[in-house]
Amino acid sequence: MAQVNDIGIDLGTSNVVIYMKGKGIVFREPAVVSIEQESHSILAIGTEAYRMIGRTPANIQVIRPLAQGEMIDFELTSTMLRSFVTRVIGRRVLSRPRAVMAVPSGVKEMEQKALISSMFDAGIRRTQLVDKNIAAALGAQANFQGPYGCLIVDMGAGASDLAVLYNGTVSVLSSISIGGDHFDDAIIRYLRKKYNLLVGERTAEQIKITLGGAAKRDPGVVMDVTGRNLISGLPKTLSIESDEIYEALIDSVNDLIEGIQIVIERTPPQLASDIFEAGITMTGGAANLYGIAEAVQQVLKIPCRVAQDARDCVVMGCAKVLMEPNTLRYLLKR
Ligand SMILES: Nc1ncnc2c1ncn2[C@@H]1O[C@H](COP(=O)(O)OP(=O)(O)OP(=O)(O)O)[C@@H](O)[C@H]1O
Ligand SMILES: [Mg+2]
């Protein structure tokens, strides 16, 4: 029986999201840790560490312990996870809760064991792991548990993970280094080149959300953008149109679509024809880019949809396993 404080965790490379039974999503923080370089002591974890990015003196380093679906620094990942979980469940839990945690596909078996033991140290009685692509498919309500191929494209911040699922298991797996951060960078480069205007990452992200698109917005949208003029060095505000940002993003969007096409070409023919019929499901925050599903569908001639609440599909997939342990247990990692 699921008990009241059982949790689901999306251990993402950019963000960690935690769901608690009966409460919904209770935690969302960047997966970063800041350390003092000489002593190697931890200064901050999560949002607090994220705020230090770009603002820290040379002796402080802000690290992403997970990147591109792999564990770069195992010790820091464990420490970060312990800190997040204790913050959510409290330090002195009488009834030790259980957890279902989605991990990136690149996490090795030894690392999985160690993650489970970190969870135990944080007060979790039992942690079960699920592949993050499977969790995304569950959260997106994709039809992947039967004998037909299904393609999930999870667009995160640093990368997009592509997985062809069949009978509830991963059949083909690939990662493309294009995600939301890539779009932000393209916007920064575009504004610098066209207007000599330098904007920061957060402004670029806001522009992407308000003006950006994989298709032209109709009617167009205009936004005042403030940055630093690279010639005068002074602040400058320009009125930017959505068509310009479409232009800035189109190459990256096309690279993503090409990546999807390559994965479909590598997919066994029977599964590929299932995908042609059932279509592609997109999840992850970056799948909220305006017009992305339409662009994919137009180029590849395959139906494509963005899942509802795309950013939370992975954690909601974990939540589903918590709720229906008997029918969904077979999806867990052994
Ligand atoms: N409305 C939106 N339009 C476009 N992009 C968006 C929107 N909302 C969020 N994003 C982008 O989604 C990305 C974050 O997605 P998500 O939270 O799924 O990443 P993540 O799970 O932390 O990454 P990963 O899966 O790589 O660990 C960011 O780049 C963010 O800018
Ligand atoms: Mg993710």
Over residues 194-213, the mean pLDDT reads: 95
Ligand 1, CB within 6 Å, residue ranges: 12-15, 156-159, 179-181, 205, 208-209, 284-286, 288-289, 311
Assess if residue 232 is contained within a domain. Answer: yes
Predicted TM-score (pTM) of this structure: 0.93
Q: Which CATH number do you get for residue 148? A: 3.30.420.40
| Per-residue model confidence (pLDDT) at position 69 | 67
Assess if residue 2 is contained within a domain. Answer: no
Domain with 75, as residue range(s), is 7-135+314-331
Tell me: the pLDDT tens digits for 135-158?
999 999 999 999 999 999 999 988
* Burial class of residue 39, CB neighbours in 10 A (0-12, 13-18, 19+): exposed
What ligand is nearest to the CA atom of residue 314? 2
Site to probe by mutation for ligand 1, drawn from 14, 27, 210, 217 as the one with most ligand atoms within 8 Å of Cβ, is 14
Tell me: the pLDDT tens digits for 12-48?
988 999 999 999 999 999 999 999 988 989 999 999 9
Q: Which residues contact 277 (CB under 8 A, 6 or more apart)?
A: none
Tell me: the pLDDT tens digits for 280-329?
999 999 999 999 999 999 999 999 999 999 999 999 999 999 999 898 98
Same domain, 287 and 323: no
Same domain, 69 and 167: no
Assess if residue 1 is contained within a domain. Answer: no
Same domain, 85 and 172: no
